[in-house]
Structure 1
Amino acid sequence: MVEQNILVLDDDKDLCNMVKMTLEHEGFVVDTAYDGNTGLSLVEKKSYLTIILDIMLPEMDGWEVCYKIRNLTNNNKVPIVMLTAKVDEDDKIMGLKLGADDYITKPFSPRELVARVRALIRREQDFKKADETLEKGELIVDSQSYKVYVKNQELDLPPKEFELIYLLVKNAGRVFTREDILEKIWGFSFAGGTRTVDEHIKRLRRKLENHSDYNYIQTVWGVGYKLEVKKDVE
């Protein structure tokens, strides 16, 4: 059985200990780190189911840690929850741009944190259990490996971008509102609102179009988005 490893990265030692005790009570194995360099070193050496990451860290802030995790050779798809006192929407969008999967603001309920962590882990495991390969045009989506290929070249997608393209490809032609996508990908009313969806769509489109002669994600004005393969017209 794979250990239920979670990393908590926050310079507030009391908060780290509280989160550690809460998660260990739920059966997880928890490592803690109090600065960005130490946390990144742990991620390079050990696999985690989820990382809980504060923004305001000494030596290397949480945004930089998040960015560097997403650019590692291994363990770069681990779900990341940003745990922070920052409440500005632009800060939340910045974290998502760098590859964070979820955001929880301080003060927070330990019960809410556990629920968010379990939801992220469950969603990733559900995708892998599906064990299916979807194809549209030059696009291949493999749920087992959590990988996406265009013209047999792997795209570098963090977990939420993978889940978004999987949803659209599996339901090709169906129009999803932004609210639909928030519910299906994040599983709750995310604090970043529908801007979160637009930012993910924008990044996903750019990655797909940089590697393909086709456009895949179409905007249905006034409604939302759908997957439909169209030849790129210069």
Structure 2
Amino acid sequence: MVMVVDDDQSHLRLVETVKRPLGFLVQTVPDAATALEILQDAAPDIFLLDIDMPGKDGWALASRIRALPTHRNTPILMVSGHALEARHPVEREGLYDAFIVKPYSVHDMLRRLADLPKVTLVHRQTDTEDDDPKQVPETVVERLRELASIGHAASLRLIEEFKNRAA
């Protein structure tokens, strides 16, 4: 299970929309306090944490997660809309395993997530797909169109990326 903690609901929906059709179990959480409550009963395999959240930020949450004996080594992917966050101070060493800056490509995020637990992503053909391994599930395409219609720039880039792959 991937636990995604972000106060931006559109980002939570985007991550969930992309990951679920690929077979990921996704737990979306709107803030650090709720995430810590859920961790009393859940054991995610990977965390995807936004840094800039009201209340407890992603760095504080990562620190709390690392302090839990059950999650000392659970992979953490930090996400930030601020490119300068990528240059982390020494005291943040060990708090996370990978870092990605928004806006990011879904392909890059999936690759980084797959690398964390050393999982290989394999495309499995379903009965509804034809022989084109580049085909994107219609639910993902539809969600990207919805997000693009409200001005989500990353969705527009993804739609173009998928069109170019199909060509």
Matched-pair identity in % = 28
Larger radius of gyration: 1
8 Å Cα contact 1:63-1:95 kept in structure 2: no
**TM-score normalised by structure 2 residue count:** 0.66
8 Å Cα contact 2:59-2:95 kept in structure 1: no
Partner of 2:40: 44
Partner of 1:12: 8
Runs (5+) with no aligned partner, structure 1? 124-234
Q: Aligned match of 2:26 in 26, 30, 37?
A: 30
**TM-score normalised by structure 1 residue count:** 0.48
> With CA pairs under 8 Å and 6+ residues apart, which has the higher RCO, 1 or 2?
2
Q: Quick one: distance in 2 between partners of 1:96 and 1:116?
A: 19
* Deviation for aligned residue 1:73: 2.6
- For 1:202-217, list aligned pairs within 5 A: none
Partner of 2:110: 114
Q: Quick one: distance in 2 between partners of 1:95 and 1:8?
A: 23
8 Å Cα contact 1:9-1:34 kept in structure 2: yes
Runs (5+) with no aligned partner, structure 2? 120-167
Could you report, residue by residue, the CA deviation over 1:84-134 in whole angstroms, capped at 9, with x for unpaired residues? 1121156534684251110000000011111110111116xxxxxxxxxxx
Q: Aligned match of 1:92 in 60, 71, 88?
A: 88
Q: Quick one: distance in 2 between partners of 1:96 and 1:51?
A: 16
Q: Is residue 102 from structure 1 mapped to residue 115 from structure 2 by the alignment?
A: no
Give the paired residue count: 119
Q: Quick one: distance in 2 between partners of 1:115 and 1:73?
A: 27
Q: Which is strand-richer, 1 or 2?
A: 1
Q: Which amino acid aligns with 2:74?
A: V
* Deviation for aligned residue 1:49: 1.4
* Deviation for aligned residue 1:35: 0.8
Q: Quick one: distance in 1 between partners of 2:2 and 2:75?
A: 10
Could you report, residue by residue, the CA deviation over 1:27-78 in whole angstroms, capped at 9, with x for unpaired residues? 0000011111011222232111110000111221111000000001322221
RMSD of the alignment, in Å?
A: 1.8
After TM superposition, the structure 1 stretch with the greater mean CA deviation from structure 2, 41-50 or 75-84, is 41-50
- SS of residue matched to 2:4: strand
